[in-house]
Structure 1
Amino acid sequence: MTKNNSLDFHKIIYKTEELLNISENRYKITTQVASRAKRRKYEDLDIIEDPFVKPIIRSILEIVDEITESEIIKD
C-alpha cells in the first residue's frame, strides 16, 4: 500500500485470518461484518477518518478487536 495509507496490508490480512480462526461460524461472521460495513457506510457519510480504509476493512478490524478484547477481559 502507499505511504499515505495508515493501515498495513499485512495487518489487515492477519486480522482477517484471526477473525476466521476465532469464529465458530464463518457465515455468521461474514454477515455480521457485511451488516456493520453497510451500516457504517451510510451512518458515517460526513466522517472521513481515513479515505483509504473502506467500511468493510474497518468493520473487520473492529469486530476482531471486540472479540479479542472481551476474551482478555474475561481472563
Structure 2
Amino acid sequence: MNHHNSLDSSDITYKTEELLEATTNRYKITVQVANRAKRRKYEDVDIIDDPQIKPVIRAILEMVDEITQPEIISD
C-alpha cells in the first residue's frame, strides 16, 4: 500500500467516482465499502499501517484496485 501515501482529496474523489461508475448498484457498493472499512478497522487494530489514511478511504482504494486490476485477486 505504499503507493497510496501521497493522496490528495482530488485523487480520492476520482477513485470514488471510478468505483461508483464500475457498479450498477451504488447502494450495494456503498455498503460493501462500509463493511470492509469496519472489518479492517477492527481486524487491524494492532497493525499501524498508515494512520493518515482512514479505513473507509483505504477500503475504497483497495476496491478500485480490485476492479481495475483483476489480476490482483486472480492469484
TM-score by length of 2: 0.82
Unaligned 5+ runs, structure 1: none
How many corresponding residue pairs?
67
Q: Where in structure 2 are the equivalents of 1:1-75 lying within 5 Å?
A: 6-70=6-70
State the 1:6 CA deviation: 2.9
Question: What's the Cα RMSD here?
Answer: 1.5
Counterpart residue identity of residue 21, structure 1: E
TM-score (norm 1): 0.82
Post-superposition offset of 1:27: 0.7
4+ residue runs over 3 A deviation: none
Q: What is the deviation of 1:28?
A: 0.6
Match of 2:53, SS state, is: coil
Cα distance in 2 for partners of 1:49, 1:6 equals: 14
Tell which structure's C-alpha radius of gyration is larger.
Answer: 1
For structure 2, the residue ranges without an aligned partner over 5 or more in a row are none
Counting aligned pairs with the same residue, the percent is: 72
